[in-house]
Structure 1
């Protein structure tokens, strides 16, 4: 069995991304025969075929997906090493994890703010769920994480509040309720809901389970883009946190859910003893949160 090589891993990754050996060769500046040769060597190293050859391109096999997971780690580390070698004074670096809706506006704005105030600070972003992100902190894989909900911090992890986020109903701009700025949960009971799960307790709908009514679920879509696409097509309504409102398309209106339970806490988690809440990026997160909160108030008034 042969050995994996950096060149071979890059070729495999590009072929998987493009679905074509020819396009991979064009993007990498190699000849097609060189790409084919590298793929053959990587398949020998893996001991399995990495691609299903088809009439109109190639498709990664399950073995290829395993190789790709590790290839990303190896190649990203090498790219980081190159960056450090180009600069005799390596820039400071922070590895940040976040839940999906925080990456819609809160995190990007914080990165922009941090870049303006601390040009040498580089941010590495990882999206994930709370258990995985907390594990990443305890294992030293990330430095801090933006999490949703009342988080129970494991040993060695500190948690500090970032903001209390309001929940909103997203509707098409032509929806009969679109003219409202706020509504109680009772006013929403007859709507067709687009949710992430058939079980309301596992979605944001569970935030007011005490309302005494079960939502009529029209569509289940786990991905936020899919949910908003269905809303934008006028096929139902969904709930969005305030953090996601600035990223909504123009065809979607938002209505504040007027209920004490229709909020969720957003927190910052970091390793104990490292003053994570005083880090420059934590300060940028706080500034970003303040900006988004102010803009949300203006949007709801208008």
Structure 2
């Protein structure tokens, strides 16, 4: 109903106590101030000022609108300041999403560095599957997402750009007392008699099933365990082995060892996804993620 400029004019006239002095402050003509105040009073349903012999004074209606005008203008000023620091990459919220194993060390390491370089930026972190994260980028709920092409490729999403971050090798986790724990890179055929721990459900093809088929066998047994902590517990108990991304290496307990596999297809590509017009802080985080990705530690 009330324009911001009209509210600013109301405040200026109230502060100055005079249309003439308010006109000087705002670089208006006195007649322009009078006309705009008259329009504002029409919108307000009645007079806002008492006209005195020398100047003007807010009446009860004017004092009421003046109080609200101060609140509105203050909020707008704060919004302008927040937007300025947001677009400069020096403050505001940055919504970041990532898949589970990227949140073990890759993303936290980059966010720690971002906190040091841009302490005014407040990060809101979340976790999800790649398809969900990509859709959240489209919806504007995320400013940056770390995603991967596993298990079914990277979704093509309009309005989202992706940059390859690193290749993530899949290794096999074994208990330390396993007969192959001290070996070098393993051929999957060396593990043909093992039970395998997987989190995927249903009949969806998996990277493990495809790799085993290339090696000429099918997994003897598949145990469905959703969470990484559960998988590690089962491996430590000698109840199976599991494929573990190198990104998750830091979370592997000391009771287990990771060994590389000779099949070059047992890897995934990790990407950073951004909206078409990324925030400066998101672009800086992309650079920090590249530095954090670096070479994965050897098996």
Smaller-chain TM-score bracket:
0.5 to 0.7
Alignment partners' CA distance in 2, 1:142 and 1:278: 10
1:111 alignment counterpart? 111
1:6 alignment counterpart? none
Cα root mean square deviation, aligned? 2.6
Written as runs of structure 1 = structure 2, the 5 A alignment for 1:14-93 is 91-93=91-93
2:98 alignment counterpart? 98
Alignment partners' CA distance in 2, 1:173 and 1:224: 18
Which of 209, 230, 234 does residue 230 from structure 1 map onto? 234
Asked whether the equivalents of residues 143 and 278 of structure 2 are also in contact (C-alpha less than 8 Å), the reply is no
Q: Is 1:187 matched up with 2:190?
A: yes
Q: CA deviation at 1:277?
A: 10
What is the DSSP-based 3-state SS (H/G/I as helix, E as strand, rest coil) of the residue aligned with 1:111?
helix
Q: CA deviation at 1:287?
A: 1.4
2:121 alignment counterpart? 121
Alignment partners' CA distance in 2, 1:154 and 1:289: 24
Which of 166, 170, 178 does residue 167 from structure 1 map onto? 170
Alignment partners' CA distance in 2, 1:109 and 1:98: 13
2:216 alignment counterpart? 212
**TM-score for the superposition, normalised by structure 2:** 0.64
Asked whether the equivalents of residues 164 and 272 of structure 2 are also in contact (C-alpha less than 8 Å), the reply is yes
Q: CA deviation at 1:122?
A: 2.2
**TM-score for the superposition, normalised by structure 1:** 0.64
Aligned length: 212
- Per mean C-alpha deviation after superposition, the further-off stretch among 157-166 and 271-280 is 271-280
Distance 1:172 1:284, change over 3 A: same
Structure 2: 5+ residue stretches without partners = 1-77
Q: Is 1:176 matched up with 2:176?
A: no
Distance 1:224 1:270, change over 3 A: same
Rg larger in structure: 2
After TM superposition, the runs of 4+ consecutive aligned structure 1 residues lying more than 6 A away are 87-90, 275-278
Structure 1: 5+ residue stretches without partners = 1-83
2:246 alignment counterpart? 242
